[in-house]
Amino acid sequence: MPYSQNILNAITAIESNPDVRLTLQQLSKTVGISPFHFHRLFRAQTGIAVGQFCAMSKLKRAAYQLLFRPWLSITDIALDNAYQSPEAFSRAFTRKFGCPPSVYRQQASPVMAANLPTLQDQSMSSQEIKVVQFQPLDIYELIHRGPESQLTKTIQQFIGWRKARHLSPQTSRTFNVFYSDPNSVAADEFELGLAVEKKRPVDDIAPLTAKRLPTCRCAYVRHIGPDSKIDTKLQFLYRNWLPGNQEEPGDFPLFTERIRFFPEVPEHAMITDLYLPLKD
């Protein structure tokens, strides 16, 4: 069931203010619904009570920060997600994930929080898709090979590598190159490239390698929202847009540029640009 605009506004308010403990009264006032009805409307449309949603949203964000923001201390993460103390955060986190934050941070294949209700995708149409000429770009790339469940360790390695070399997302563009589809290959055959723009020469680039994203004509579409919704747009590109426009995929893999990241922005505000190379 599509969410009403009031519930979408409430979800936006919750996910956009992780460092604030929003009360039922504050949320109901934000969306213009009496608190006597707001909590029932929220649960009826999302399947979860508003208080549970707030708590789970903060814990999911905290889990990502623990895994992919190693420079943040557990105290920083607790305060950043509106917990009154690291102890309160640790208790809540342990109840959800079965271990304290310090242990979770060290796990090789941590379990992520269950998906929460999120903003609904707008209907996809061919008008969203443009044909663009991608200009060649030098990159440093780390290739993940193996089960998708082990991708966390590769991402951590990639983030640590670029942070040590001062190649932040704010100054150097970030890409993923999809050499295979995890839904279509054996787990140990899955390959995904994690890449950062090469703005300057870097000494000792191992385990990354220097490569180039080539000049190519691409079908381009911007995706706004969580990664879990990207496949919907990809299916439309391959199933509808290619045959409808008498186009065929080119020789270079599908790739994406990460513009805005979770947990720096709420999941519904993530921006990912999709590029499907086309035959000339």
Instruction: Answer yes or no: do 200 and 82 share one domain.
Output: no
Task: List the CATH number of the domain containing 242.
Answer: 3.20.80.10
Q: What is the pLDDT of residue 22?
A: 83
pLDDT average, residue stretch 55-71 = 91
- pLDDT of 4 > 80? The answer is no
Are residue 99 and residue 143 in the same domain, yes or no? no
The CATH number given to whatever domain includes residue 34 is: 1.10.10.60
In a domain, residue 208? The reply is yes
The mean pLDDT value of the chain amounts to 89
Whether residue 98 is found in the same domain as residue 147:
no
3-state SS record for the chain:
CCCCHHHHHHHHHHHHCCCCCCCHHHHHHHHCCCHHHHHHHHHHHHCCCHHHHHHHHHHHHHHHHHHHCCCCCHHHHHHHCCCCCHHHHHHHHHHHHCCCHHHHCCCCCCCCCCCCCCCCCCCCCHHHCEEEEECCEEEEEEEEECCHHHHHHHHHHHHHHHHHCCCCCCCCCEEEEECCCCCCCCHHHCEEEEEEECCCCCCCCCCCEEEEECCEEEEEEEEECCHHHHHHHHHHHHHHHHHHCCCCECCCCEEEEEEECCCCCCHHHCEEEEEEEECC
145 with 266, same domain: the answer is yes
pLDDT in tens, 103-133: 999 886 677 666 666 665 556 677 789 999 9
Q: Summarize pLDDT for 172-217 with one digit per residue, the tens.
A: 999 999 999 888 889 999 999 999 999 889 989 999 999 999 999 9
252, part of any domain: yes
Q: In this predicted structure, what is the pLDDT of residue 192?
A: 97
pLDDT at 6: 82
What pLDDT is stored for residue 13 in this prediction?
87
Higher pLDDT, 268 or 104: 104
Q: How many domains does the chain have?
A: 2
User: 104, 134, 162: which is the final residue of a domain?
Assistant: 104
Boundaries of domain holding 46:
5-104
Q: Verify that 157 and 43 share a domain, yes or no.
A: no
